[in-house]
Structure 1
Amino acid sequence: MKIFTVAARRFYQLPRQHRIALASTSLIVAAALMWQPSVVHSPSYGSRSESEQRREVPLLSEELLSLSEQNSEPLGVVLDPEDPDFQVPKDELEQQLDQATDVAHSHKVSSGETLGEIFTQYALPISDMYKLIEADKSIQFLRVGQSIGWSLDEEGRIGELSIERSAKLTDTYTLTSKGYEHKEVERTGEFKPVRLTGRVSGSFYQSARSAGLSPTQIQTLVKALQWRFDLGKEARKGDRFAITLEREFIDGKAVGQGEVKALYYMNRNQELFAMRYDDGEFYDEEGRSLNRALNRYPTQKRFRISSSFNPHRKHPVTHRVSPHNGTDFATPVGTPVVATGDGVVVKAQKHALAGNFIMIKHGREYSTRYLHLSKILVKVGQKVRMGDKIALSGNTGRSTGPHLHYELLKYGRAVNAMKVPLPQAEPVPNKTRTDYRKLANRERQNLLAVMPG
């Protein structure tokens, strides 16, 4: 008995993949040993008795392991992201941005990040990554602070991808009928501010498009003001706006769409100003961040991660893709679950697979989901702050053990909550804040001068 105890202890010290493979093999071997075909023995050769030929092999309960190992999405069962219950509610502005084909997404490279990790974080097609590498092997060489931008086509493939290597040099990759085409683009022109103005006459989206803004630029504006002013719900007919773009000019001709540098929005009840700083984030005229921060963990205490984010997870036996689009924490039933950021509860209900679950919308860029709860403590429409207790963890729905499944979504797509860069809310650094305020005041006056009357 002591041997079995030592063996069981050693078993649990093995890596997870090894335990899965060993458990699967043990079950197959045990089944083979318990099944024996009938054999005809000749008495003349002195065959052994039936009891000598066949013996039972007892299995320890520790060996009867579930292959899913307490995942919220047992292997072979995938929570359908298209299920209406899991959809993030979208208003007209978000639907219009979704329908635009040239909306770009971006990521700033952090220390130690690889191209593969970034693709996994944003659930981008790994097959596209390999094709991009085939087009240009240097795409794998990333440095901290470099900006990666991409857009997806209607089939979810990467249509265009760019890596801003420096202020002057950008690598671009475009999907063609023959594969990805790589170009090294050097900025040799002169950068000048261009100011666009407009007045809201219908929806903000259509009014901004009429003023000359692209869907990507509109999304930048929506994101910049999302915590101060909702351009989808609060914009009213007659509101006025002025935008500064930084555009490149070569031989007097503008190249590219340009980057949003500042905006001034005049609503009947308020005036809003925002300017982009050197770090790429937007701040008000005093240098205060327009962001709201998000925490990485949905519990007050740290718990062991029993299953990590892996949109390309494969079944160890069938080798079929069985995505795990969240992070599982090994929390006992009744563990307090907290909101990871300020937001509004948009879902609080039961589901056959997810059990009791909550969805919170954080501005227009992020949303979070909390699954398999034992008790829900909030209601739909309720506003929550970062750190508010919203539920108790549990084991409801399609779950193989007590745990909390947590998901972070960026523009409706699941990303790795444990690795993806999260928004911060720090002001402009003290040493440069005075200079920032001078620049902001000057830019504010320039926008006011061109604002529609």
Structure 2
Amino acid sequence: MKLHKVAVATIKQLPRQHRIALASTSFVLLAALLWQPSKPVTLSTFGNDQRVDIALSTDLEKLSDMNSEPIGEVVDPKDPEFLVPKDELEQQLQEEVDVSHSHQVTSGETLGSIFSQYALPISNMYSLINVNKSIQNLRVGQTIEWSVDDDGQVTEFSVKRSAKITDTFSLTKNGYSYEQVEESGEIKPVVLTGRISGSFYNSAMAAGLTANQIQTLAQKLQWRFDFGREARKGDRFAVSVDREFIDGRAVNKGDVKAIYYLSGNREVFAMRFGENNFYDADGKSLDRALRRLPLEKRYRISSPFNPTRKHPITGRISPHNGTDFAVPIGTSVLAAGDGVVVKSSKHPLAGNYIVIKHGREYMTRYLHLNKRLVKVGDKVTMGQRIAQSGNTGRSTGPHLHYELIKKNRPVNAMKVPLPQAEPVPSKDRKKYLRLASEERQKLLAVMPG
């Protein structure tokens, strides 16, 4: 008779209370096995000097199949090892602007699914619903915006119901407050002009732009012109801004409509068209596309994105901020988009890892690699082979851990909308080109001499 059959027969002969105690002990030891799952566990049977090997492989395989990394140890995204230094413009905006996130509602989405995509606390969602249940009534095409604090708690939340009406929620010391804001004034375009004398941020502020408008320009033009690194003394700019006026007085700083920027012989033009998309003079998108999968083909997801994952024994939250793909060691890992390598190193938990910065809004992380093929400072293109997958660091089996970071917060790379770099829709192209030409000429006419 095989050893495990002997063990089962022996256990069946034990008193009920002993069998319960043995089961409890086995459960605790199961957690320990997560650190060394290949080693057998030896238990002493109660009331019997004979030691038997208890086979727990079935439970281990099930748990390992659900988690590619030990649940009790997670990589802290705030670990100094992973932090990317900020340039001057990023530091200035960080001091003045509460980072705002936005999402345009698509078919089939609910408030809950959106909170899940962006790893927002579900408890915050229920608190918002308690204040005003209408927050759940989302329609396709509506835009929602929110801000979070350093602890990830939602501090501001808004739903733009129409061109003039916005539902707003703010976190106070007594919980969330609700207000419906209605724009009752007249929207007029205002043109602001300036010349770079120091940093772009200070020069733009001197011209009358707000920190939020500067952030919009920095993010929307990040792939065409980097205001933090490429702006030079003497550069000139003109920015068209929509402002709300009531009785002739400006009451709203408004949204950026268009910009014309001259740096030497280099000309940069961009105009908003549609909900929140910016295009150049030819109707091409200013975005750079990101691919959803950093692999050549689809592989089984062994651990999904789950910011509220709980440890099966302690019950504590042990978030999984990425998506794990069960891939053999040596599988090609591809860059999810164009960008610059800002980290290429080794970490006790993450193993060999790479971090790529894609403009000013996105970053991607690739963990547990077998071999890194790029170094810090390398420029990469979408689909470029950057590494081989592996099983380094704290890992329960070969896999690739992939993270998408948007505005310094992990999001679900498998579900959140990604920039697609699509041009102006063909049905609107003729209209856009006419409006863009008119706007460009208007801004050019008022450029500083």
TM-score w.r.t. structure 1 length?
Answer: 0.86
2:174 pairs with 1:178: yes
Q: Which residue of structure 2 lines up, in the alignment, with residue 19 of structure 1?
A: none
2:224 pairs with 1:259: no
Q: Which residue of structure 2 lines up, in the alignment, with residue 18 of structure 1?
A: none
- How far apart are the structure 2 equivalents of 1:63 and 1:151? 41
Instruction: Please say if residues 322 and 402 of structure 2, whose CA atoms lie closer than 8 Å, have aligned partners that are also in contact.
Output: yes
- How far apart are the structure 1 equivalents of 2:323 and 2:216? 28
2:118 pairs with 1:125: no
For residues 299-350 of structure 1, give each alpha carbon's deviation from its aligned partner in whole angstroms, at most 9, with x where no partner exists: 0110011111111211122110111110000111111111111111111111
- How far apart are the structure 2 equivalents of 1:57 and 1:391? 40
- How far apart are the structure 1 equivalents of 2:51 and 2:230? 76
Q: 1:207 deviation in Å?
A: 1.6
Q: How does 1:125-274 map to 2 (within 5 A)?
A: 125-153=121-149, 156-274=152-270
2:359 pairs with 1:363: yes
Instruction: Please say if residues 72 and 372 of structure 1, whose CA atoms lie closer than 8 Å, have aligned partners that are also in contact.
Output: no
For residues 71-109 of structure 1, give each alpha carbon's deviation from its aligned partner in whole angstroms, at most 9, with x where no partner exists: 454211121111122113321111222222434221111
Instruction: Please say if residues 339 and 389 of structure 1, whose CA atoms lie closer than 8 Å, have aligned partners that are also in contact.
Output: yes
Q: Which residue of structure 1 lines up, in the alignment, with residue 369 of structure 2?
A: 373
> Which deviates more, 394-403 or 137-146?
137-146
Q: Which residue of structure 2 lines up, in the alignment, with residue 10 of structure 1?
A: none
- How far apart are the structure 2 equivalents of 1:160 and 1:60? 48
Instruction: Please say if residues 67 and 75 of structure 1, whose CA atoms lie closer than 8 Å, have aligned partners that are also in contact.
Output: no
- How far apart are the structure 1 equivalents of 2:190 and 2:254? 9
Q: Which residue of structure 1 lines up, in the alignment, with residue 288 of structure 2?
A: 292
Q: Which amino acid counterpart does residue 191 of structure 2 have in structure 1?
A: R
Distance 1:82 1:55, change over 3 A: closer
Q: Which residue of structure 2 lines up, in the alignment, with residue 42 of structure 1?
A: none
Instruction: Please say if residues 44 and 51 of structure 2, whose CA atoms lie closer than 8 Å, have aligned partners that are also in contact.
Output: no
Q: 1:66 deviation in Å?
A: 7.6
Distance 1:99 1:217, change over 3 A: same
Distance 1:282 1:30, change over 3 A: closer
Q: Which amino acid counterpart does residue 450 of structure 1 have in structure 2?
A: V
Instruction: Please say if residues 240 and 443 of structure 2, whose CA atoms lie closer than 8 Å, have aligned partners that are also in contact.
Output: yes
Q: 1:184 deviation in Å?
A: 1.4
Distance 1:239 1:319, change over 3 A: same
May I ask how many residue pairs the two structures share in their alignment?
Answer: 420
> Which deviates more, 97-106 or 171-180?
97-106
Instruction: Please say if residues 324 and 401 of structure 2, whose CA atoms lie closer than 8 Å, have aligned partners that are also in contact.
Output: yes
2:351 pairs with 1:352: no
Q: 1:383 deviation in Å?
A: 1.1
Q: 1:447 deviation in Å?
A: 1.1
> Which deviates more, 88-97 or 352-361?
88-97
Q: Which amino acid counterpart does residue 185 of structure 1 have in structure 2?
A: V
2:312 pairs with 1:316: yes
Q: Which amino acid counterpart does residue 407 of structure 2 have in structure 1?
A: Y
- How far apart are the structure 2 equivalents of 1:141 and 1:289? 31
- How far apart are the structure 2 equivalents of 1:92 and 1:164? 32
Q: How does 1:385-396 map to 2 (within 5 A)?
A: 385-396=381-392
- How far apart are the structure 2 equivalents of 1:72 and 1:93? 38
> Which deviates more, 335-344 or 109-118?
109-118
Q: Which residue of structure 2 lines up, in the alignment, with residue 27 of structure 1?
A: 26
Q: 1:70 deviation in Å?
A: 6.6
Q: Which residue of structure 1 lines up, in the alignment, with residue 16 of structure 2?
A: none
2:425 pairs with 1:439: no
Q: Which residue of structure 2 lines up, in the alignment, with residue 424 of structure 1?
A: 420
- How far apart are the structure 1 equivalents of 2:319 and 2:308? 5
- How far apart are the structure 2 equivalents of 1:28 and 1:90? 46
CA RMSD of aligned residues (A): 2.6
- How far apart are the structure 1 equivalents of 2:136 and 2:330? 44
Percent of paired sites with the same residue: 65
* Unaligned 5+ runs, structure 1: 6-23, 39-49
- How far apart are the structure 1 equivalents of 2:54 and 2:69? 30
- How far apart are the structure 2 equivalents of 1:286 and 1:110? 27
Q: How does 1:104-115 map to 2 (within 5 A)?
A: 104-115=100-111
Q: Which residue of structure 2 lines up, in the alignment, with residue 78 of structure 1?
A: 74
- How far apart are the structure 2 equivalents of 1:259 and 1:191? 10
Q: 1:152 deviation in Å?
A: 2.9
Instruction: Please say if residues 88 and 412 of structure 1, whose CA atoms lie closer than 8 Å, have aligned partners that are also in contact.
Output: no
Instruction: Please say if residues 45 and 51 of structure 2, whose CA atoms lie closer than 8 Å, have aligned partners that are also in contact.
Output: no
SS of residue in 2 equivalent to 1:171: strand
SS of residue in 2 equivalent to 1:84: coil
* Unaligned 5+ runs, structure 2: 6-22, 31-41
Q: How does 1:23-62 map to 2 (within 5 A)?
A: 27-28=26-27, 56=52, 58-59=54-55, 61-62=57-58
Q: Which residue of structure 1 lines up, in the alignment, with residue 85 of structure 2?
A: 89
Q: Which residue of structure 2 lines up, in the alignment, with residue 412 of structure 1?
A: 408
Instruction: Please say if residues 366 and 411 of structure 1, whose CA atoms lie closer than 8 Å, have aligned partners that are also in contact.
Output: yes
Q: 1:140 deviation in Å?
A: 1.6
Distance 1:324 1:336, change over 3 A: same
SS of residue in 1 equivalent to 2:227: coil
2:327 pairs with 1:327: no
Instruction: Please say if residues 89 and 346 of structure 1, whose CA atoms lie closer than 8 Å, have aligned partners that are also in contact.
Output: no
